[in-house]
Amino acid sequence: MRDTMKLKMLALAAALSLASTPAFATDLVVDLSSGTASFIGQSIILDGGDDQIEFTNLPAGTYDFLLSLSSQNISNLTATLNGQAATITELGLFSFASLASTGDSPFVLVLTGTPGARALYSGELAVTQIPEPGTLALLAAGIGGIAGMGSSVRRKAQA
């Protein structure tokens, strides 16, 4: 009985110690509701091989986007946003990434690389929603209607 109780206590202690250890990758959640969001690597970056940054609070849809990222002391850096690879430029200890494209929300940025001493990164994502074709048709019809009303008013004023 005593051995069973010790085994249970040991299992509980092991479970509690595992629950208190940090995640291997630094996962960030960033609010993108304004259309522009900045982010900075936190804690131990790229621990476990990658960092995933999820951009939230953006309505479903298709967006034009521009991603910019700068890093220091990270070798073999890669950055993908929703599976699209960013262009990486390395200048000594510094790396710069950029990607301008179109994609569907939600957006998830995955960074991989090997961090060196005092490694860090920061960046920005800016998005602009692409109107659906139906929205453009309504806009054109509205502009056409306003133009038609204007010419009708002018004809009445001239008569």
Domain contains 18: no
Q: Structural domain of residue 98, as residue ranges?
A: 24-154
Each residue's pLDDT expressed in tens, for the chain with a length of 159 residues: 565 555 455 444 443 333 333 333 448 999 999 999 999 998 788 877 899 999 999 999 999 999 999 999 999 999 999 999 999 999 999 999 999 999 999 999 999 999 999 999 999 999 999 987 765 556 666 776 676 666 666 666 676
String of DSSP letters for 12-81: HHHHHHHHTSPPSS--EEEE-TTSEEEEE--SSTTTTSEEEEEEES--SSEEEEEEEEEEEEEEEEEEEE
Quote the number of domains for the chain: 1
Matching residue, tokens 């390395």: 90
In a domain, residue 80? The reply is yes
Residue 19 lies in a domain: no
Concatenating the DSSP letter of every residue in 99-136 gives EEEEEESSEEEEEEEEEEEEEEEEEEEEEEEPPPHHHH
Residue type, 33: S
pLDDT, tens only, 2-27: 655 554 554 444 433 333 333 334 48
Q: Which amino acid is at 49?
A: G
In a domain, residue 96? The reply is: yes
Question: What's the confidence (pLDDT) of residue 153?
Answer: 62
Is residue 57 one of the residues assigned to a domain? yes
Task: Determine if the pTM surpasses 0.85.
Answer: no
Residue 100 has phi, psi (to 5 degrees) of -125, 120
Q: What is the CATH number of the domain that holds 131?
A: 2.60.120
Residue 7 within a domain: no
48 domain-assigned: yes
In a domain, 2, yes or no: no
How many CB atoms neighbour CB 41 within 10 A? 22
